[in-house]
Homo-oligomer: A and B are copies of this chain.
């Protein structure tokens, strides 16, 4: 249920996820893309097809920022319930809840969407990165 994970591994994974939302929400599109491997995949029912590779992931994050600016609102990816389901030396599986919270200028904040993410991680020269993320939306249960 709660597999033993080395404190060093858990610290590195918590930092990866700690950084990630700040990067996309703060408009650092390429740095967000680099939390994924060079061939990283982002699979979400909110988008017509998977986004794959650093270039496409960067463009995806830039579109996200541009659309928020166009609507004059701030969107946050609120991450909770981070769980390292399994972790070896080079591979790990991570689950978390991810809420989308949007605030139009001068208006109340709103919980737009509750999702879960299941990520495959690999460990390389740059530390832990996400090889594949699968997003599931609570409003579209399977």
A: residues with CB less than 8 A from B are 1-8, 10-12, 14-16, 18-23, 31, 34-35, 72, 74, 76-85, 95, 97, 99, 101, 103-114, 116, 127-128, 138-141
Contacts and interface: CB of A to CB of B under 8 A. Distances in A.
Contact of A18 (B78, B84, B110, B139): B84
A10 B114 CA distance: 27
**How many copies of this chain does the complex contain?**
3
Given A84-B18, A109-B139, A31 B1 contact: yes
Given A1-B34, A107-B139, A114 B12 contact: no
B140 A105 contact: yes
A85 B23 CA distance: 11
